[in-house]
Structure 1
Amino acid sequence: MDINLPALFAAVFLLIVLGAVLWYAARVAVPLPEAPPGPPTGALAMERKIIAIVAMIAAMALLFLGYGFREPARQVSAQEQQLDTSIGRGISNFTTLCFPCHGEKGQGAVVPDVTPERLAPPLNRSDLRPTDSDTRTKEYDFIFKTIQRG
């Protein structure tokens, strides 16, 4: 597993900053001689709000960093799953749409139940593998429309 060093440094930095802010808030906090009977107001209430906000921001930062550490592994897993799904769909499409006319390995065959008799060409021809991007796009469109329309 590759460790994402910038994210690790950022996490350590945020923990240090959070610790420093909490330490500072604890050192600066001066308890009142007598606590008022109602909810805290003034400087004490503001200090508690600031501590709560800083803690929430730090928690969110750690949550995002944790997600960032997991992201490369998640992407690899998703890519493998997508490849498996794509291969399965390709096999299904070939079996349904291409196999009856072009044969088991795409070598070409006689088209069944067609009068007059026609031959389905092999699928591994060199003209179906162009190197020019414009020609490749045209061939892709041709094959796509042939499969789509039968």
Structure 2
Amino acid sequence: MRYRKYVVVIVSAWLLILIWTGYLLLENRRMAIAREEHLHNLVSRGLQIFASNCATCHGPLGEGVVGPPLNREEFRGDPDEETDVYDFLYTTIDQGRPGSTDPRWVRLETGEWASFTAMPAWGQAHGGPLNPQELRAVTTFIMMGDWNEVVSHI
């Protein structure tokens, strides 16, 4: 009788270990899928916000009109990995940029053009219409979105 209890306990322990191992193996996959879905939703929301608020100055393809181009290669990447780029873009959108109220472009010594046109603050904390989630969404779109999709949302 005692032997039987030991067998039941050992078999139960091994089953629990196998179930726990299976769960841990599947959890990484589940988390990766959830992250991808979250990023997709964030980019989609950011696309709508960009089309409604940003395309006028930055162009529907992010090519720059009054404001500077945003479709530059150095702005592309995963926001979780390229944190310096993400922070720069988020802060710029949130707080705006100082500059002239008249559109003004200046050619730099490197030959590139730079916009010195003021950008309004879009974050609610600075008087703009966008909450932190919307700021995150548009920043994520700039970094990961498909610029060709903006035209169909204008």
The structure number with the bigger radius of gyration is 1
Give the helix-richer structure, 1 or 2.
1
TM-score interval (norm. to shorter) = 0.3 to 0.5
The alignment's TM-score, normalised by the length of structure 1, stands at: 0.43
Asked which structure has the greater RCO (Cα within 8 Å, sep 6+), the reply is 2
The alignment's TM-score, normalised by the length of structure 2, stands at: 0.42
